Structure 1
Amino acid sequence: MAFYDLAKQERDVLVKQIQEVILKEITAVNHLPILPYFSDEDTYIRKTAYLAIGKIYKMHIGQLPNIIKLLNELFVHDDFKVRQTVVNAAGEIGKSDFMAVQSFFDQGLLDEHHAVRNAVIGSVKKMGEVNPTPVLAWAATYLQHPDKEIRREICHGIELRGRKHPQDILPMLKQLQFDPTKRVSSTLVHVIGQIAYKKGCLATVIADLKTWQNKELVDQAILEIIDVHERYKDFAVLSQQEAIDYISKHF
């Protein structure tokens, strides 16, 4: 039965059960009792498992070496869902201690399965929001990577930090302004649009774009910013017309 087919009380019991099993088996030689949760077809069961890792890490900080050992052993599993769950679990730890789990993201970026690479993007987003200094420093080392997909994934991964602190990621985005790959430049334009409609961000983004040299890409970004203010009008601080007026006055 899927996670959300269960009643609320039953879900609470299952969450507690998964956490207890993982804590009990985390020091075991054989991790077979844990594997079904990491490989479950239901994404919410897998989410419960990686959130349990995060809770155990916070409540039992001394178990970190055992947690890392467990994740390393599971990370070589043939099932991409297991590797995906490992990356997400590492992301929960990386919110506080990125250096302890950095290797999972170095490897995850190169994984053959897109679901694992997407887990890297999602984890970078959640870690970068609350633990930006080491996460962004790590991400910056991949901005000029020869693999275009890695450059695109890093660009996408740092987006969430930019929604509240655009000044933290704009210098990184600027390094991609002449990227020759369409998928990278399209993601770059998308990310600029996503950070520009948040409270207090438009002025910062526009001021920075004025210093960019790739005028064609900047024009695309401006159009995206204007369009985003309409597409997300229920969430944008400014109306589309107010955004247009600001851009017209300051750009």
Structure 2
Amino acid sequence: MAFYDLSKPERDALVAEINQEIAQDLSQAVTERIVRCFSDDDTYVRKTGYLAIGKIFYAQPQLQNTIFSVLKVLMTSEDELIRQTVINAAGEIGKFHFDKIQVFMDTGLFDKHHRVRNAVIGSIKKMGEKNPEPVLTWSKSYLEHPDKEIRREICHGIELRGRTHPQDVLPLLKVLEFDETRRVSETLVHVLGQIAYKNGCLKTVVEHLNTWKNKELVQHALDEIVDVHNRYKKFAVLSQDEAIAYIDKHYKY
């Protein structure tokens, strides 16, 4: 039975059981139950597993070395679900200790399976929200990587930090303004749209876009920003008309 097919008390009991089993495996330096959880077909079971790793890491410091040893071994698994869950577990630790798990992100970014690479993107988002400085420094080092997918994934990964602190990510995004790969430039335009509709963000984005040289890409980004203010009108601070008026007044064509 799937996680959300269970009743709330049954889900709570399952979460408690998974937490206990993972803690027991770590205390005994074995991985049988961790592997079973990390390879489960149910996304929410796997999520419970990687959240448990994060909780145990902070609650039981004596198990930290064991956690790293287990994650390193599991990262070599042939099962992409296990590798994906390892990355997500490392991301929980990286919210406060990025230096300790950077190697997992370096490895996962080049994984052969999109699930694992997507887990890196998700981890960058959650780590960047809590621990931006080292995460953004690491991200910057990949923005000019020869592999277009690496550039695209990093661009996507720093989006969440940009929604609340656009000034932190705009200088990084600018590195991609002349990227010749359509898939990268489309992601860049998407991210610019996503970071422009929250409180105070449009001003910061427009000011920064005034310094960009690729006017064609900027125009695509402004069109996306205007469209986002309509698509997300329930969440946007400004109406679409107000966004258009602000851009017309402050963007230097």
- Compute the TM-score of the two structures, normalised by the length of structure 1: 0.98
Provide the residue aligned with 1:79 in structure 2. Answer: 79
Return structure 1 stretches of 4+ with deviation > 4 angstroms: none
Residue 220 of structure 1 corresponds to 220
**Equivalent residue, structure 1, for 2:191:** 191
Distance 1:35 1:29, change over 3 A: same
1-structure distance, mates of 2:143, 2:212 = 17
Amino acid at match of 2:102: Q
1:1-251 alignment runs, 5 A limit? 1-251=1-251
Q: Which whole-Å CA distance do the structure 1 matches of 2:61 and 2:156 have between them? A: 31
Output one character per residue of 1:193-218: Cα deviation in whole Å (capped at 9) or x when no partner: 00000111000000000000001000
Separation in 2, partners of 1:240, 1:191: 18
SS in 2 for 1:26: helix
**1:152 Cα deviation from its structure 2 partner:** 0.1
Post-superposition offset of 1:29: 4.4
Deviations 1:174-225 (A, max 9, x none): 0000011000000000000000001110000000000000010001001000
Name the amino acid aligned to 1:74.
L
In 2, distance between residues paired with 1:231 and 1:146?
Answer: 34
TM-score (norm 2): 0.98
Q: Letter of the 1:188 partner, please give it.
A: L
Read off the aligned partner of 2:240 and give its amino acid letter: Q
Which amino acid in the other structure matches residue 123 of structure 1? S
| Cα displacement string for residues 46-73 of structure 1 (whole angstroms, at most 9, x for unaligned residues) | 0000010111112112321111111111
CA shift for structure 1 position 31: 1.1
Cα distance in 2 for partners of 1:80, 1:24 equals: 24
Distance 1:189 1:153 in 2: 14
* DSSP-derived class of the 1:163 partner: helix
Secondary structure of 1:78 counterpart: coil
CA offset digits 1:91-136 (Å, max 9, x no partner):
0000010011101100000000000000000000000001001100
SS at match of 2:164: coil
Aligned residue type for 2:57: Y
Gaps of 5+ in 2: none
CA distance in 2, matches of 1:249, 1:61: 55
Tell me the CA shift for residue 28 of structure 1.
Answer: 3.4
SS at structure 1 position matched to 2:195: helix
Calculate percent identity across the aligned residue pairs.
63
For 1:140 and 1:63, how far apart are their aligned partners in 2?
A: 32
CA–CA distance in 2 between the matches of 1:62 and 1:30?
Answer: 15
What code does the residue aligned with 1:89 have?
A
User: How big is the alpha-carbon RMSD for the aligned residues of Structure 1 and Structure 2?
Assistant: 0.8
Structure 1, unpaired ranges of 5+:
none
**Alignment check: 8 A CA contact 2:29 2:66 kept:** no
SS of equivalent residue, structure 1 residue 197: coil
Separation in 2, partners of 1:62, 1:224 = 49
**Inter-partner Cα distance in structure 1 for 2:66 and 2:30:** 13
Q: SS at 1:33's partner residue? A: helix
Instruction: Give the distance between the partners of 1:247 and 1:61, measured in 2 at CA.
Output: 51
Q: How many residues matched?
A: 251
